[in-house]
Structure 1
Amino acid sequence: MIGFVVNPVAGNGKGEKVWNSLEPILRQQGVVYRVRKTSNEGEGKTLVIELIEKEEVKMIVAVGGDGTVSEVVNGIYETGKECTFGHVPAGSGEWRSIQLEQGLTGRWQKLRTRQDTRSG
């Protein structure tokens, strides 16, 4: 199972837009996932720990900018468990380089391929 930690206010609201574009792709492909959205700075770490320890996810994907990535990585580290990390950029600097449909689909395919390789 994959856990997503989404910062909806990353990039002045771009985190929410990116997630709203990515989620239908996940559903269409039948991906089993859990999503948690941050509401406060620093909350991402706590959400990651919950996803890994209670939901038993094996991959965490941060949807946000540098701050979200930092919180997610620190949460993974704190659990001491093996967990694959992924990032869908949605910060203020990264957004300009993403072509929404192709960029998100391509990034998702890369993450899914990595997970399938590790599972098999």
Structure 2
Amino acid sequence: MTIAYWCVFAAAILPYIFTAIAKIGAPGFSNRRVRECQDKLEGWRKRAHWAHQNGHEAFPPFAAGVIIAHLVGAKQQTIDILAVTFVVFRIVYGICYLTDKPTLRSLAWAVPFISMIALFFIG
């Protein structure tokens, strides 16, 4: 399996890490009414939940970009670099969300977005 495919796996798992951060130890959290409890989260836990949601939004085009880049025969090293960049900056994005750094978060969002777009055009 290529590094880029491993990055697809990492990007698929990442949102669940952020939701675990949001939920584990949250006061009054009930797994019976998860969505209700998530709506009541505050502070960094609420932002971790938002990072979770955004991770699910970012995943499909990234995964498609990696697969398409492979299918059109793009240079493997380039695909891998773009995929690793995507994952690393998605982690940075999540950390910026948790620590309430909105300007840095926007910059950290832009890098993986550009990486994802590039995957569609490198072949």
* Interval of TM-score (by shorter of Structure 1 and Structure 2): 0.3 to 0.5
For the pair shown, which has the larger CA radius of gyration, 1 or 2? 2
Structure with the higher fraction of residues in strand conformation: 1
TM-score (norm 1): 0.34
